[in-house]
């Protein structure tokens, strides 16, 4: 019954247009489903799924979970307004979101030869795979942009 209440709450938030920012796992929960610890249903607010970060790339073994700083490449959006693409953001994850619609991808980063989604957005729902609260001034600036969306 609690799950139903959560889905109803997010439907109301969607209908009211209240901005929501999911961070790390919070971003992944916005998707339709995840394959972490089996197949699990997500909130379905952004179509797509959560899959493991590839552990092999271009004939080399990749360490997963990925923990570290990466620069992100982003398209212009209200969430990324005035962000510096040359600075890094702090990531720690072993699963990644793969939206069905590329228009919902706001930013990506390169992990070895893999392009991984770093920021997503649809309507009033946004998600960051990285931790903006641990990413220095640009991370805090992104949070400020989010606060100023409404």
Phi, psi of 138 (to 5 degrees): -70, -35
Q: How many CB atoms lie within 10 A of CB 38?
A: 6
The catalytic position among 39, 104, 128, 133 is 133
Examine the residue annotation and report whether 128 is marked as an active-site residue of this protein. no
Residue 108 phi, psi dihedral angles, 5° rounding: -135, 165
131 as an active site residue: the answer is yes
Q: Which of 24, 49, 104, 128 is catalytic?
A: 24
The residue to which tokens 């209240």 are assigned: 18
**Which positions are annotated as active-site residues?**
24, 131, 133
């Amino acid at each position: 019954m609690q799950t139903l209440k959560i889905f109803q709450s997010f439907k109301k938030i969607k209908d009211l247009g209240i901005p929501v920012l999911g961070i790390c796992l919070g971003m992944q929960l916005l998707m339709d489903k995840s394959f972490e610890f089996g197949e699990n249903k997500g909130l379905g607010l952004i179509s797509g799924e959560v899959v493991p970060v590839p552990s092999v790339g271009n004939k080399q073994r990749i360490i997963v979970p990925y923990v570290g700083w990466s620069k992100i490449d982003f398209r212009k959006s209200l969430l990324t307004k005035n962000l510096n693409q040359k600075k890094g953001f702090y990531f720690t994850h072993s699963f990644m979101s793969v939206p069905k619609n590329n228009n919902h991808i706001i930013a990506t980063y390169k992990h070895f030869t893999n392009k991984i989604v770093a920021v997503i957005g649809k309507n009033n729902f946004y998600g960051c795979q990285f931790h903006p609260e641990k990413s220095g001034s640009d991370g805090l600036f992104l949070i400020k942009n989010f606060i100023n969306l409404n």
